[in-house]
Every structure is written in C-alpha cells, then in structure tokens.
Amino acid sequence: MRWLIRFNKYLILIIFLTLSISTSDVQLGKVADRVYFLAVDQAFNFGSWTVSGAWLKISQSVLATPRYFTPGTQHQLVSEYLELVRSQEKTEREINLIYTDPQQKDPAVTSATLRQQLSALQQRQDGLAPLAEAVLEMQVTQILHEQGLTSGGQPIPWVLYHTAPLPQNLVISPRTIIQQETSALLQPDLSLEQAIALEERVSRQLNVSAVVVDVGGLAAYPTMIMRTTALDWLTSTIAHEWIHLYLGQRPLGMNYDKTPELRSMNETTASIAGNEIGRIVLERYYPELAARYPLEYQTAAAGAGPVPPPQLRPAFNFRAEMHRTRVRADELLAAGQIEAAEAYMEQRRQVFWENGYAIRKINQAYFAFYGAYADTPGGAAGEDPVGPAVRQLRDQSASLKDFLERISRLDSFAALQKAVQ
C-alpha cells in the first residue's frame, strides 16, 4: 500500500510537470521546423527519458533509503561513489590510449584485463549510484528548506536527479547577429563526425551559424546530470536544474523561449541560485572539499571546463580573452562584416587552443549558447546587459528567496530593468 501511494504521488507529479515545466527547446517557427527535419534522425527522445527516468526513481524509492543512515555514513556513500567514478574514468582513459596507440597490434587482447576491471567498476557504481543520488537529493532539499523555498517542508517539485549520458544540443544563431534562434536536442551517442556533418548541413542549407555543444545538465524530470567527480559542480548543477523547474511554474520560466533576453535571464538566475545553494551544501556536508575549492573557482569557464585554482592557472585569462573575443565579434557583425567576424572568431579559437583550451568551434551560435550563462562578469556574454541586471537584482534582494520571488514574476527584460532602477 505504501508503494502504491508513493507511485501515485510520482505519477501525479509527472503529469503536472509535463504540463508546467519549461524546456530549452524554443517554440517552433520556420527555421526551427527546418532544423527539426534536418536533425530528426539524430533527435533525442525527450518523452522516453521522462518515462524511464521517472520509473527508475519510483523503483529506487521502494529500496532502503539513506534517510536513516547517519551523516557520517551518508558522507562516506557519496565519497565512495565519486571515487568509483574517478577509477572508472581513469580506466576508460587507459583503454582508449591502448586503442589509439599505433604500435598496438591487438588492442583487444592488451586491454582485456582493463576491460574486466571496468566492467567490475561499472557494476559497483550501478549499485552505489542510487544511494549516492538519494543522499545528495536529501542534502539539496534540506538547504532549499532552510532558504524558504519549500512548501510544507518539501520543494515543489521534489529534488530528483539521475546521472545519465546527456543529449547533445544543436544551437542555431543567425549569422548577422549573436542570438539563439532555435535549438534541438540530439542523441547522447552522436559521434563527432556526425555532429560536424549535421552542423555543416544545417549551416549550408539554412545560411545560419550552427554548433553542437555538450550539455552538463537538463531540466527534464527527473533532471539529468552528467557523470562527474567534481562534487562542487555536481551540487551546484543539481540545484541549478531544480531552479529551472521552480521557474517553470512562474512567468519567467513559462516565457523561457519568448526572447533571447528571457532565456539569458532564466539561465543566469539558475546559475546564481544554483551556485549559492550548491556552495552551502558543500560547506555543510563536505567541508573538506569546500576548503579546497573556494567559491571564486567554482564557476565553470564557458565551454572550457572548470577554472583551475590560482597556483595552477596559466597566465592566459580565459574569461577576459573570451570577453574580448565576443565584444569584437559583436562590433564586426554590427558593421555588417559577417565574413570578417567569422574569420576573426576562428583566429581567436586558435589562440585559445595554443593556450591549452581545446574549443572545437567558436562562432555566433557558440556565443549565443554560452553567453546566456552570465552569472559571472566577463566571458562569453560580452557587453550583453542582461547578466549585469540579473546580478544587480540579486545584490538588491534581501535573500535568495526574495531574489527568486522577485525575478520569477518578470516576463520581459524591460520589467527587469524597471525592477533594478
């Protein structure tokens, strides 16, 4: 009977979210329709994930829950899970090196032992992952409650996430201006060759700027989070994706795709709130890691991975150089020099490569995607005024709850500008 009651609660919640949450897919228009048909063979099945992910969480809910474990045991569960992921990634790299070594005559034989080790690690991870996920869900929920973001002690919707291979995202921008026009979620196992071919086909046939980017998290339900060993990033991303579900029930999230400014307002808000909540989780439950990674190094550099600690940071300032690149590209496009802007962005990509940042493509679509995450000054957002306005509203708010309540009611950038005056 308890299992049936829990199942019914999940079912009602899934129906509610299907009707209310926002997604990162824009409303279909002429360009979006044509992109869809060009990418349909590689499209991600969003509905299938929602059903399978919800069933997975329902199944996990009938198992023994870490809720009754001591805080020390919960900490150990998460630590052991992250160590398993770390070992798994190390083994995968060693196997890949064997298969890419031209001196290897029989990589299958050479890697046999490593592949057996990888299989054993995967089995252990599959058994531990549901418990670790449940612990982190409870910890994020507790912080949400303390921040006043729950109703009756429970966040709406509940914090549920699952680590899974995430879809890739095909982002489209006009060539004349940096502005996300549409996007399409693609299958997680899309190869690099397939991604490049799709970018070229869409760009050529529609005369647009296109790029396929990786996604770290997705506000489906349960939310999807990529596999990682970086607990600071993980806690922030769990919170970030939940914030999208929270906003999706309010004007800001409901209008996510209405304008580029609203998309940036949504993403910047989720990043600010996610980082704040994730940081509290880290300091409360994993203080040894919080001390190792100060808050200023927690933010990820758009498209280039985590910002390294100062002693490991190269002299090349990624955020400053990316900001400079965006500003100059905007200037060239505003002057109608499209080919010059595209040549400049490619030349700058090579500069980033030479300084250790392996970015495959920098174009209008790249900046349209990464520039929407403007919780930190500088970077890919350039001189876009949306990010500073969202940050200003956070500074003017008495608490995180106050900030989220204020910005979630807004349905335009003009309303945001009025709110911060």
Asked if residue 365 is part of any domain, the answer here is: yes
Burial label for 79, CB within 10 Å (0-12, 13-18, 19+), is: middle
Give the pLDDT score at 259: 94
Q: Which residue has the tokens 């335009």?
A: 412
Position 199 in a domain = no
Instruction: With respect to residue 281, please indicate whether it lies within any of the assigned structural domains.
Output: yes
Rounded distance, CA 177 to CA 365, Å? 9
- At 164 the pLDDT is 85
Span 19-28, pLDDT tens digits: 444 444 334 4
4 band by pLDDT with thresholds 50, 70 and 90: very low
Q: What local confidence, expressed as pLDDT, does residue 59 receive? A: 67
Q: Is residue 313 part of a domain?
A: yes
Helices (H) and strands (E) in the chain, counts: 17, 8
Q: Could you tell me which residues come within 8 angstroms of residue 352 by beta carbon, excluding any fewer than 6 positions away?
A: 304, 318, 321, 322, 359, 362
Asked whether the predicted pLDDT for residue 135 surpasses 90, the reply is yes
Residue 22: predicted pLDDT: 43
45 located within any domain: no
Maximum Cα–Cα distance for the chain, whole Å? 68
The yes-or-no verdict on residue 1 having pLDDT over 50 is no
| Digit-coded pLDDT (tens) for 327-347 | 999 999 999 999 999 999 999
Q: Tell me what the pLDDT averaged over the chain comes to.
A: 86
Within-domain flag for 132: no
pLDDT digits (tens, 9 = 90+) for 33-75: 788 778 878 888 777 777 777 777 776 665 557 778 899 999 9
Residue range 269-296: average pLDDT? Answer: 88
Position 99 confidence tier, pLDDT thresholds 50, 70, 90: confident
The residue segments making up the domain with residue 416 are: 251-420
Q: Which residue has the higher pLDDT, 250 or 20?
A: 250
DSSP 151: B
pLDDT at residue 9 greater than cutoff 60: no
Evaluate if residue 6 carries a pLDDT over 60.
no
200 inside domain: no
Domain assignment present for 283 = yes
Number of domains forming the structure of the chain: 1
Question: What mean pLDDT do residues 357-385 have?
Answer: 94
- Looking at residue 363, what is its pLDDT? 97
d(CA 26, CA 185): 11
Render pLDDT for 192-212 as a digit per residue (tens, 0 to 9): 899 999 999 999 999 999 999
